[in-house]
Chain A
């Protein structure tokens, strides 16, 4: 019963993707949003009602591919819920924002018709989001890879066509980097397939060292870790803001999801190289955290904060089963927080004629109080204050003690990572939204530029209280097989 409901709800946005270009922009916006709200409600219902996993077979393919099937356990549902919520809200937000962007492009003579561009936009947007949604329900590594590539292609085209600045160059840069990630992962997946005779999650017995290493390196580029992280500020800053608001909160974190799935099958690699990986993750996070302070472009600033937050995911991955819980929750909290924040950046761009330079912002709360307050909620989510981010940090810290005991160096480093997030969050708030007002006019803007932010923020806060916290955490406990130490 619930399997059918789930499949139908997952199919809705997929089907809608292909009919969306037939509608006018306003109708398309609402249809797109609703098509994601339906699976959102279903996934939330599943989270609240069942801890069992649902398996929906799709087809059986010969070795080394193995069975294609959909897997809906609490982990997938948690990721799926997040993707649906953020995608639906960003879809609503897209209408006023992309209208502004298209008008700008029309003015510059880069496009010919706003309506025509909207048709292309809605197809690509929905395709992008739906590919991510299906990715987290894929029960086979090959299937997962296919969705990974679809989401990459769709987002590449969106940046290529509607980005800012030197957008073609940035889009190609993004494409090359993520393609490196994709190829490495594919190689690893193929090795898994050949070694096990299948790439289906439920049939893979072991993941060898080479396969693990390739997937890990690939995902390190995508996540990204220190070094490969350099593509991210370009792509996230120059993408049109609704795309940034999917790229940063949802897409990069999916690398964490892939690693989590591989880990759940075979944790040998991480366990063996735990110390090196956690050291790298901590350095990566601290490095990116410090980078935030030097940014002058609001969206670039947020992009560096993403790198820092993804360091959390990698740290959490090294911390045993509590850490895995931390991975999932950190993904959710970062998705909520960062989607709000990118939308605030976009709202400023849309209402102040492309204003992105932090040096020209000050006391912006005076002009856009609703956006400023939403940004506060976003930064609270990132720093784990009164929001779901708190649980993410909690399980990371609990896992830290389980794995490393009272190793002072690791404790101080991880605590410092968390402190740094809080510091750059509130530093940014102060620089942008408070202080002497910069002398703009109070703009008039569509409610769709601020209301969706509060919907996301509502869930961010609601997830620390019952029933959502209870359902999510107990479901994840079962899915991750955290044993009966607790009474």
Chain B
């Protein structure tokens, strides 16, 4: 078995990987809490970033040195005792997915950490920021490398709490720049703007709704199989044990976690208002890594369930659900993104759209096989680098223009040329224009969806092409509205060197991936190239190019439909109106219930005792006369009863 592989110093390395970032953020967290605050506190973030760098080194070491980097390689597992009596241990797994994802997380976290050194320099809450930023990185790495579901859940909860903490970072709600939506705007009596503290609350409240069913599924898997290691759970035997309905309930409950975390319909709203957090947070958590963790977990499950080998009914239903939920969410989000006027909200919607594609593509593995998971995974990687770059650029633009809405003409492109260059590369490489990075992967995706013709006709493929076209259209719009045709903006240029360096490094990763795809003979790159060289893929690429050009040259079209899309099809009524209304109505009923019980037990019953006592005291007044009356009364009563009963003839 694979466990036999000798892993020298692994425990120490893992400790470094997870604990260094957290420990490195303690100095700033503690110093910031001191009152009065020491002067040197503002220098401590460097230490936190150094902690991230250590993680990066370890993650890269694991990528290149632990086992072979190939989709076919046997996974290597490493176990540290936790609660062995229950067969629950810290089981780390190093396979194709986890090694790449770990390195991706560490690279992006480190680069954004560097960017944050400048971006967050003058912030009022650095201790909080760096603690949660580093806690997030450690949690994400834990999710990535865990094979054990309970251990994964620790990381998963860490993601949730870090996301909440960072979205609500500017808790004072006093800066217009940190809001989402147009201040004071109302639709049908509902506020259409959200403060950071509201954004945090919406995030955690949505995520809890998904996490608890997921937790149930984990508990149930443990009770049913006695193991929690994804790679060991007898997935095939599950259906025999609990039936088709059981499998569907179990897996849907489990996937509620990924669905909410990855903001699929109808849980999408929190991601849009998550943009109230600092841009670094949006870049790291809410586009590149955390939201992708949901799709990653689904890929990891599929990798080991291997539904393409099983052909079981229960799994089929679940995979159909994921496929179409992903596609529909993706379409919804793409439409919303076309009409978004805020830089970050546009990118958030586009992130959601990409996540939908990842889900759909990974779900297609039921019919297509492992290749579909690889396509989804490589799309995740490309998307992460591209979207993180775009977010960092957006952050830089917001920093320089003090405006979170799309805007900027050629002056911006001239004065912030690195931001401009990074945007051009990131948008073109992400939209799927041949022959750039995402084109090859999207071609793979076209192929995967085409495979589904037998089951679902051409519907999935048609949806994918539509989404790709819309997607590239709004990327063109993003470029155009920020650097060419947007409104004139006032620039406050100051510094920005570190920030530019960070996003240029980030965007250059796309070139590296392109080079790998084109040169590597290995799986799955050779398939990507093969798919990309087909005429049909090229045709799709051309459609995407046309859409991009259209978005670029005609970035804004006024129409009521646009307003509808821009208002996210009024999905916020679910979060801000329907659910709270129901909740508050129940709370009201319950409150009345409490008052009633309180009144009964603490007013009515004591009052009754009082009345009884008064009655007793009235009778027992101590006069002989009264007692005689009572005796006579009783005698008469007895006589009456006796006569009535016929005892006295």
Within B75-91, the residues touching A (CB, 8 Å) are 81-87
A249 within 8 A of B: no
Q: Please indicate the chain A residues that have their CB under 8 angstroms from the CB of B161 in the complex.
A: 380, 385-386
Residue of B nearest to A471 (CB): B83
B208 within 8 A of A: yes
Contact A415 B216 (CB under 8 A): yes
With contacts A380-B161, A401-B224, A430-B200 taken as known, whether A369 is within 8 angstroms of B195 at the C-beta atoms is no
Interface string of A252-295 (1 = CB under 8 A from B): 00000000000000000000000000000000000100110110
A394 within 8 A of B: yes
A395 to B220, CA, bound (A): 10
Residue of B nearest to A293 (CB): B587
CB distance from B220 to the nearest CB of A (A): 4
A119 within 8 A of B: no
Q: Please indicate the chain A residues that have their CB under 8 angstroms from the CB of B216 in the complex.
A: 397, 400, 411, 414-415
Contact B587 A291 (CB under 8 A): yes
Within B127-180, the residues touching A (CB, 8 Å) are 150, 153-154, 157-158, 160-161, 164, 168, 171-174
Q: Please indicate the chain B residues that have their CB under 8 angstroms from the CB of A297 in the complex.
A: none
Q: Please indicate the chain B residues that have their CB under 8 angstroms from the CB of A384 in the complex.
A: 157
Interface string of B215-254 (1 = CB under 8 A from A): 1101110111010000000000000001001100110010
Within A437-457, the residues touching B (CB, 8 Å) are 437, 442
Sample (18) of A-B pairs whose CB atoms are under 8 Å apart = A230-B598, A290-B586, A291-B587, A291-B590, A363-B173, A370-B33, A385-B160, A386-B158, A390-B157, A397-B218, A401-B219, A411-B253, A415-B212, A430-B197, A434-B168, A434-B197, A469-B82, A474-B83
A486 to B164, CA, bound (A): 37
Q: A291-B591, A430-B200 are in contact. List 13 more A-B contacts (CB 8 A).
A: A230-B602, A234-B602, A287-B593, A293-B584, A363-B173, A386-B154, A400-B223, A415-B212, A419-B208, A419-B212, A422-B211, A466-B83, A473-B85
Q: Please indicate the chain A residues that have their CB under 8 angstroms from the CB of B198 in the complex.
A: 430
Contact A408 B249 (CB under 8 A): yes
What is the interface of chain A, defined by CB distance below 8 A to chain B? 173, 227, 230-231, 234, 287, 290-291, 293-294, 322, 363, 365-366, 369-370, 373, 380, 383-386, 390, 393-402, 405-406, 408, 411, 414-416, 418-419, 422-423, 426-427, 430, 433-437, 442, 464-466, 469-470, 473-474, 477, 485-487
Q: Please indicate the chain B residues that have their CB under 8 angstroms from the CB of A293 in the complex.
A: 583-584, 587
Contact A173 B85 (CB under 8 A): no
Residue of B nearest to A469 (CB): B83
Q: Please indicate the chain A residues that have their CB under 8 angstroms from the CB of B597 in the complex.
A: 227, 230
The listed residue (B164, B223, B590) touching A290 by CB distance below 8 A is: B590
CB distance from A327 to the nearest CB of B (A): 15
A474 to B81, CA, bound (A): 12
B205 within 8 A of A: yes
Tell me the interface secondary structure of chain A in the complex.
Answer: helix
Contact A394 B85 (CB under 8 A): no
CB distance from A5 to the nearest CB of B (A): 25
A303 to B242, CA, bound (A): 40
Contact B208 A230 (CB under 8 A): no
Contact A473 B223 (CB under 8 A): no
CB distance from B531 to the nearest CB of A (A): 41
B588 within 8 A of A: yes
Q: Please indicate the chain A residues that have their CB under 8 angstroms from the CB of B86 in the complex.
A: 473, 477, 486
Contact A426 B205 (CB under 8 A): yes
With contacts A291-B590, A393-B215 taken as known, whether A464 is within 8 angstroms of B154 at the C-beta atoms is yes
Q: Please indicate the chain B residues that have their CB under 8 angstroms from the CB of A234 in the complex.
A: 602
Q: Please indicate the chain B residues that have their CB under 8 angstroms from the CB of A230 in the complex.
A: 594, 597-598, 601-602
A224 to B583, CA, bound (A): 24
CB distance from A362 to the nearest CB of B (A): 9
Residue of A nearest to B171 (CB): A434
Residue of A nearest to B213 (CB): A415
